[in-house]
Structure 1
Amino acid sequence: MSEAQRLDVSENEALREELRKLRRINAALMDRVERSSDMSANAFSMFETAISLEAMVRERTSQLEDALGQLAKANSDLAAAHESADAAQIRLRDAIESINEGFVLFDADDRLVLFNEAYLGFWPELSPHMREGMEFSEIAQLAAKHERPLGAVVAPDRWVSERLVRHGVADGGHVQALSDGRWVQINELRTSEGGIVGIYTDITEVKAEDARARALELAERNLILQSTLDTLSEGVCMFDSTGRLSAWNGALSHLLGLGEDPARALACHGDLLDWCRQGLGMEDHGCLDWQDAGHISPVSQLCPAGERRFEIRSTRTGQGGLVFSFTDVTDMLTAQAALRETAETLERRVSERTAELLSVNARLGQEVAERRTIEAALTQAKIAAEKANLSKTSFLAAASHDLLQPLNAACLFVAALGDKRLALPTRALVSQTATALESVEDLLEALLEISRLDAGAIQPEISHFRIDQLLQTLNVEFTPSARAAGLQLRMETDPLWVESDLRLLRRILQNFISNAIRYTASGSVRVTCAVEGDAVRVAVIDTGRGIDSSQQEMIFEEFRRLDTRSQGKGLGLAIVRRAADMLGHKIWLHSAPGEGSTFAITLPLGRPVAASEGDGVTTPRDRSMQGRRVLVVDNERQIQSGMRTLLGGWGCDVVVAGDYGEAVRLFADGERPDIILADYHLNDGETGDRAIAQLQAYFGAPIPAVMISADRGEGLKVQLAASGTPLLNKPVKPAQLRALLRTMLP
């Protein structure tokens, strides 16, 4: 009975009890009225009592009618609930009967609640005895009594106990074999109320299919085993645990002369012994005997049989049988004997040759000693040359700062002088001086770059970028030079991504384009990009006079120029070769006299990357520098004088100091500069970045600052990039400095 039905029944009982109480109250009131009439003669009192009783009776009657109405509604709801429960139970039974699997349900007390006909199909003998309310233990004992499970035929009590344990756990499925040959899979699970629901599935066909598959697999394995045995050159036979022949190959019949039917000649292990000993005359040493279970490792022996020799190997199988293999080693033993005789002859010859070689070795030893002496001398010379090269590289790297300091000062003075109003002859001299200083600067920069490449001070920073953007920058850079030379410069490129070091690749292409403009008298210089497989080929094509094939390798060496009348230093292509070797890029040169030249480089294709904020070119706004206070911190007096002259010519108020202490004394009046220009290497180990930080702390404000240094090392660039301080390399180009100041000054 459901919970709703139980509630309806209890409510009906309460209404009936209340009805009985009302009836008793009504009877008591009527009895009181009658007794009052007999005992009192007062008419008015009786009238009042009658009126009061009538009101009470009317009230009680109304309550009784309400109770009867509620009782009728409760009876109607109860009947509807009974009808719904009966319909649900019928539907549940129909649903259970419609499934193919056997279904059975036990309550929390392990008593039978519900089952279907498919469940009875597994226990037809139990059908007359099955009833609701039976315990599962009774059903298990009945099944064992009628010997329905196969396990109950042998040991019914043990089967019943094991079945009750599995039923009590009810954690999944297991398989039972029935005595009529069927197989059933039983899945039992606990319900939320503590009962057990069981699903019984007939898997007889699945078991039969599995048995057929296993038989087929065994047959295939036997075929594979026989095919494997037939491919062996050794004769093989296999006996089972009873000594009967179970497998053999064709090589066995050929080696032992068994004829076309080895199974008849070797039906058992004893036949093999008789055939080998009597038929072949084999001198048995026990290797053909049957091995008991104590023999684990294989047994192998060499057994003579007349003029033939057999190597016999016996191995015990895991099932207790034996496998014998026969190998005819007669020819092999004959060959070994011949080899031994040949070896003895060779040993005698070796002894004779050894005596001859000893004398030759003595002479060779003397020659080797002489060669070692020569190699040692060559090694020392190589070490000395390498040390000299390193010394040269170190000298150039160390001397660059001292060389560039006076050059920087001279450039500043010449730039300041060029800003003044001069006579034409004097202006020509200033222009020639500036050109000469630029040539010296280019030469020093090229020498310094070669020394840094040789010393390994430059490490490539591989990234992915668009080659067309780099070429557009170079187009802006070299168009004035090409126009001044009367040449047409064209960039033919697509938005292609490449993988390389942007700075080194820019240097390579700069040298290609500048050489093309320098050595082309008329015509054009064209730059092209083309995809070749997984690479991009960038070529610089000019219409110059061309290069003979005998000179094409020479031009990549230092200080090699084909045209001595040009202003080149002969170092550009040397830098190109070193940078390309460092990046692993291949350089191409195609040229012939009168046909122009094509210099090309092959780059790996890159992958597109998202542009970071701040990428692109920002055009500086034009700001006047008139009256701007500039603090120059440099320990070289010539540099101080040159910067004062140059910046003063631009209208700036220049204050120069040798270090942080002197700068603080010069600004003791509380004023502060608009911008700081500091050299990196100052006196007594002080550095420009530290001086800038101290000055900003002293003034209490983030004053714009620029670092100026002849040090071109990557470490300094990384350090200044982290702090956001711009870096200008010495010698400082006035135009570059002026553009930077206009950008940074507020």
Structure 2
Amino acid sequence: MTLHPQERAEALKLAMDHVPQGIAVFDAGLRLTASNQRYNSLLALPADLVRPGTALFDIALFMAERGDLGPGDAARLAIQRINEVTAAPVTVTQRQGNNGQVLEFHSSRLADGGLVVSFSDVTARVRAEQQLEQMNQSLERRVEERTATLRQVNGELEAARAKADASNHDKTRFLAAASHDLLQPLNAARLYTSTLIERAKSTAFAELANSIEASLTAVEDIMSALLDISRIDSGALKPAPAPMQAQDLLKKTEVEFAPMARERSISLRIVPTRATILADRALLGRIVQNLVSNAIKYTPIGGKVLVGLRRRGNRWRLDVIDSGIGFNKDQHRLVFAEFSRLERGARMAQGLGLGLSIVQRLVSALDLTLELDSREGHGSRFSIYLPALRHARPAARPDAPAPEPDFSTLSLRILCVDNERAILEAMEGLLVHWGCDVRTALSLKQIDREHLLEGWYPDLVLMDYHLDQTSGLDAIEWLRHNLGGHLPAALVTADRSPAVRALAEDRGIAVITKPVKPAALRATISGISNQSGRSTQRPG
């Protein structure tokens, strides 16, 4: 069915009136050709401005005079508005309607120069966008506030950590100084007591002297344990694993604990080994010290303690086995707790129950594995798994340990240097009782000032580490330089740090830890004198 032009125009207008957007079509002269009801109502135009043939300028001028286009000259605003919608083939603009709504205009130029303008009320969308923008801004502010708070908290945490680190550092320094100051009088007391024990043998004072010795030993063990725990917890102990011959550790263990085992009539067996392991020598030594000491303490008189290594895959298992009191599986966790002691063990030996707590801390610090197997009434096995070195040169076949000499028959010249007069007097009394020719000095200056070494060459120097004006290591080097030759020496110190021990070992100097145990002192002196061949060391 063919429609007449007027019918087509009416049909087109009817269709345009059903479109939700306002639509207007202008010819090449920018005169209105057609518009729909939505266009007329949204713009609130009077009837004479919606008739076909109305100039776009007249429509724009009316809206400008009404204030729709903002303040200013109406004609200028009308021309400016027309330029905005005709400047490009397609334009999109927004402006506020006369009722405060937001209108969005889409303008398109036609091929014949005409113009189609469509627009819609986007107030809801714009408000949603504004709300979203406000939410984003609010979120950004909250993020900034949270970030600022987090920075503040992190700053406070960092300050607290720095304060804690400084506190730990100060505590470590204090403990280092305190350990020296506290162990100095204890060292003198141990030496005096040892002399008393030697001289009180077969007298009525023997039991009293031994009781004093036992009390001092208990005090020393408690102090050493507390200092070790503090060093570990404060991070002052830094593991430094290095290849080492396990036999060196076993020999040292035998020298240190053989006298203790003999006193309790306990058979201490050290199994020789060729094993080369990767470990921190000082910290592993401390673990073995605690395990062997515990094994001897809690093994009844006449029992047995065995220390040795077994190969287990790519690791070595270091075992400390005893025939002691043992304990059941329910008590395994309890034995590692601080200040915790089993009732039967507390009756057998004094202490605070810190030894195994220290072992557990050191094992954790060294990233090793600790294994425990025990049966109540039958004994225990404590095992430490250590990394093995496959391509390391095997250690020479270990020799049997040299027998402990009888110092009462020896004639050793020993120079003792310590800045504590009481320690010197106690050390001199003990060494003289052992038959040694002893000279003492508080400092190198006293040695030089009093010419203590003129015509007298020592077989051995026992040197305190903390002297008033220099370190004991430097003092030994000074003596070696001035006396000539390799002067045998041992460093006597309350400083148990691995660094001091490593420095001494690098210079070929033995280390004796304060408070000095007479048996360990005697064994060290024996070992040094046998190695040095003292008769060949004296000049002339």
Give the TM-score taking structure 1 as reference length. 0.44
Contact 2:326 2:374 in 1 (8 A): no
**Offset at residue 637 of structure 1 (A):** 1.3
C-alpha distance in 1, partners of 2:336/2:298?
15
Corresponding residue number in structure 2 for 1:605: 388
C-alpha distance in 2, partners of 1:735/1:533?
38
Helix, strand or coil at the partner of 1:419 = helix
C-alpha distance in 1, partners of 2:516/2:244?
31
C-alpha distance in 1, partners of 2:484/2:150?
73
Q: Which runs of 5+ in 1 are unaligned?
A: 1-346
Choose which of 531, 534, 554 in structure 1 pairs with 2:314.
534
Find out whether 1:678 has 2:463 as its counterpart: yes
More helix by share: 1
Q: Superposition pairs for residues 308-707 of structure 1, below 5 Å?
A: 356=135, 359=138, 377-421=156-200, 424-453=203-232, 454-466=234-246, 474=253, 497-519=276-298, 530-540=310-320, 544=325, 546=327, 552=332, 555-556=335-336, 558-563=338-343, 565=347, 566-589=349-372, 598-607=381-390, 608-611=392-395, 617-619=401-403, 628-667=412-451, 670-675=454-459, 676-683=461-468, 685-695=469-479, 704-707=488-491
1:546 maps to a residue whose letter is F
C-alpha distance in 2, partners of 1:519/1:364?
62
Q: How many residues align?
A: 398
Corresponding residue number in structure 1 for 2:18: none
C-alpha distance in 1, partners of 2:418/2:307?
43
Corresponding residue number in structure 2 for 1:731: 515
**Offset at residue 444 of structure 1 (A):** 3.1
Q: 1:450 to 1:669 in 2, by over 3 A?
A: closer
Q: 1:530 to 1:670 in 2, by over 3 A?
A: closer
C-alpha distance in 1, partners of 2:281/2:214?
29
C-alpha distance in 2, partners of 1:696/1:529?
39
Contact 2:245 2:274 in 1 (8 A): no
**Offset at residue 431 of structure 1 (A):** 0.8
**Offset at residue 471 of structure 1 (A):** 5.5
Q: 1:452 to 1:690 in 2, by over 3 A?
A: same
- What is the Cα-based RMSD across aligned positions, in Å? 4.5
C-alpha distance in 1, partners of 2:364/2:230?
15
Q: 1:642 to 1:358 in 2, by over 3 A?
A: same
Contact 1:559 1:571 in 2 (8 A): yes
What is the percentage of aligned positions where both structures have the same residue? 37
**Offset at residue 702 of structure 1 (A):** 5.6
C-alpha distance in 2, partners of 1:669/1:544?
53
**Offset at residue 616 of structure 1 (A):** 7.3
| Cα shift readout 1:653-689 (whole Å, capped 9, x = no counterpart) | 4332222332244447942143333323333x23444
**Offset at residue 591 of structure 1 (A):** 6.4
Helix, strand or coil at the partner of 1:640 = helix
| Cα shift readout 1:39-65 (whole Å, capped 9, x = no counterpart) | xxxxxxxxxxxxxxxxxxxxxxxxxxx
Q: 1:572 to 1:361 in 2, by over 3 A?
A: same
Contact 1:464 1:609 in 2 (8 A): no
Helix, strand or coil at the partner of 1:611 = coil
C-alpha distance in 1, partners of 2:226/2:134?
62
| Cα shift readout 1:631-655 (whole Å, capped 9, x = no counterpart) | 3322221122212222222233433
C-alpha distance in 1, partners of 2:266/2:434?
35
Q: Superposition pairs for residues 23-422 of structure 1, below 5 Å?
A: 356=135, 359=138, 377-421=156-200
Give the TM-score taking structure 2 as reference length. 0.59
C-alpha distance in 2, partners of 1:507/1:669?
37
| Cα shift readout 1:431-474 (whole Å, capped 9, x = no counterpart) | 1111122222223333444444444455424215357x855875
C-alpha distance in 2, partners of 1:540/1:668?
47
Contact 1:441 1:731 in 2 (8 A): yes
1:682 maps to a residue whose letter is L
Contact 2:172 2:236 in 1 (8 A): no
C-alpha distance in 2, partners of 1:375/1:611?
53
C-alpha distance in 1, partners of 2:149/2:328?
46
Contact 1:396 1:447 in 2 (8 A): no
C-alpha distance in 1, partners of 2:397/2:306?
33
Contact 2:444 2:475 in 1 (8 A): yes
C-alpha distance in 1, partners of 2:483/2:306?
53
**Offset at residue 396 of structure 1 (A):** 0.9
Larger Rg: 1
Contact 1:537 1:601 in 2 (8 A): yes
1:438 maps to a residue whose letter is T
1:437 maps to a residue whose letter is L
Choose which of 477, 484, 505 in structure 2 pairs with 1:721.
505
Contact 2:275 2:395 in 1 (8 A): no
Q: Which runs of 5+ in 2 are unaligned?
A: 1-125, 536-540
2:462 maps to a residue whose letter is L
